[in-house]
Chain A
Amino acid sequence: MDFQSCVKIQKEWDIVGARQMGREYAKEIGFGTVDQARIATAISELARNIYLYAGKGKVCFETIDEINHKGLCVVALDDGPGIQDISQVMEDGFSTSGGLGAGLPGVRRLMDQFDIISQPGKGTEIRTVKWVR
């Protein structure tokens, strides 16, 4: 899939760049302030996971503009170690207990759609969508 644009994540400050780009798209599509903030936080989590666990990867954006369907698709991609037990990382309290932040369950709450494909040793793709209400 070709994305409208991607931000490479290699350094911690790249997270800010990804947030920035996500927020601009969100504003453009017509999200309210609260949802803009939620999308930015979700992007932070996704980008931070890449930075912490995969080392490098990218966060990509695709705006969705159909007749009665407007939204933003945020995809996080990396070639990192992958996730062994997805059910476990999707469990409340698993990543947050170590003070790591909202974790993937948080991302799922912040966004409307959430999908994750991960192969140990190959990498992870997390695809999320937020719809304009």
Chain B
Amino acid sequence: MNSKNFDLENYRKLLKQYMMTQDEKALYQAEQFTKLSMQNNISPEEIVNVHIQALRQISPTIPKEIDVSLNFLLEAMISYGLAYQEFQSLREKQLELKSEISVAASMQQTLLSTVKPSIKGLDIGAVSVPANQMNGDYYHFVKDNQDTLGIAVADVIGKGIPAALAMSMIKYSMDSFPLSQRNPSAILENLNRVVERNVDPSMFITMFYGLYDPTTSIFQYSSAGHEPGFYYNAKKAEFLEIEAKGLVLGVSSDTYYQQYELEINKEDMIILLTDGVTECRLADRFIERNEVLEVIKQYTHLSAQEAVEQVYKHFERIQDFHLRDDFTLIIIKKDV
């Protein structure tokens, strides 16, 4: 009650000052008064009430029409006051949700974390950035004791929390496969059955799985409808699309995946990505795949990790620092 009287007194002074001088200073102070009131959760109808009280004190002879009309204004402000209070409570709720999601996101990072392996003769760079807090893209490296490198890149159609949940499932199914099972086509066939059984039919997952054997320099791979990557042939100095046919995961339980292979020679490169890279949106259009390749080419003289980071920074900037889709890019260079 005390603070309210104080408020009224303060408001009355400011109003009186303004009525006499009409100067900007009083208006500025009125602005401060409002801000303070908002901090104290004073709703608009209470401000109108304070105004009515103050006005009656300052000029007791205000015409009845004006006095009555102010009551009308007060009544009209009630709903605004409610909307304001609702807004406040929704804002608090939003903060709660945000912090809950950030806990989930850091948990996801722990769950899906993968170590970039060091393999003699290979320079590997990888970057994966979610558009929102949780990532619907996923990449994973597996190295066995013969230095064979398995690389998985997957993308759930859609983003955010549902996509992230589906990704955790993929990761754990892969972890449960025996190490001896390294065949890209077999891995995709098994994952396809897992996805088909466990994920809502409206959700699709694309995936690329590659296996590199350093003793033969052969890269075997299969794709489940995944965005094609690029292969750089150093001898011919040309980039080729890594073409591979295959249905996205989860459509039909008995899908068969064809397996392909490439021989990787010195200074060749393998570039894997998700559609968050190739579908970068510039002001009014999607970027073309060859434009993506042009950007990647600018940075391939750098180390693989520096290159993927520079490419990411480039696309982040041209999209005004606001990713539309989760972005994952992996570059593997053969050094020797």
Contacts and interface: CB of A to CB of B under 8 A. Distances in A.
Whether A and B are associated in the same complex: the answer reads yes
Interface of A: 32-34, 37-38, 40-41, 92-93, 96, 101-102, 105-106, 109-110, 133
B74 A93 contact: no
B79 A96 contact: no
Main secondary structure of the interface of A (DSSP, over half): helix
B86 A41 contact: no
A33 B52 contact: yes
B23 to A, nearest CB: 30
A37 B79 contact: no
B74 A92 contact: no
Nearest to B89: A92
B71 interface: yes
Given A34-B46, A93-B90, A101-B79, A109 B52 contact: no
Interface of B: 1, 45-46, 49, 52, 71, 74-75, 78-79, 82-83, 85-86, 89-90, 93
Given A32-B49, A34-B46, A93-B90, 18 more contacts: A33-B49, A33-B52, A33-B71, A34-B45, A37-B45, A37-B75, A38-B78, A40-B75, A41-B75, A41-B78, A41-B79, A92-B86, A93-B86, A96-B86, A102-B79, A106-B86, A109-B85, A109-B86
Most interface-central of B82, B83, B90 (chain A CB within 10 A): B82
A105 B85 CA distance: 10
22 contacts: A33-B52, A33-B74, A34-B46, A37-B45, A37-B74, A37-B75, A37-B78, A38-B78, A41-B82, A92-B90, A92-B93, A96-B83, A96-B86, A102-B79, A102-B83, A102-B86, A109-B82, A109-B85, A109-B86, A110-B78, A110-B82, A133-B1
Nearest to B49: A34
3 residue pairs, one from A and one from B, having the closest CB atoms: A102-B82, A106-B82, A41-B78
A45 B186 CA distance: 63
Given A34-B45, A34-B46, A105 B86 contact: yes
Most chain B beta-carbon neighbours within 10 Å: one of A40, A92, A93: A92
B93 to A, nearest CB: 7
A101 B83 CA distance: 9
Contacts of B90: 92-93
A132 to B, nearest CB: 13
Contacts of B46: 34
B143 to A, nearest CB: 50
Contacts of B79: 41, 101-102
Contacts of B85: 109
Contacts of B52: 33
A87 to B, nearest CB: 14
Contacts of B1: 133
Nearest to A102: B82
Contacts of A105: 86
Contacts of A32: 49
Contacts of A33: 49, 52, 71, 74
B313 to A, nearest CB: 38
Report which residue of A37, A93, A96, A109 has the largest number of chain B beta carbons within 10 angstroms of its beta carbon. A37
Contacts of A38: 45, 78
B81 to A, nearest CB: 8
Contacts of B71: 33
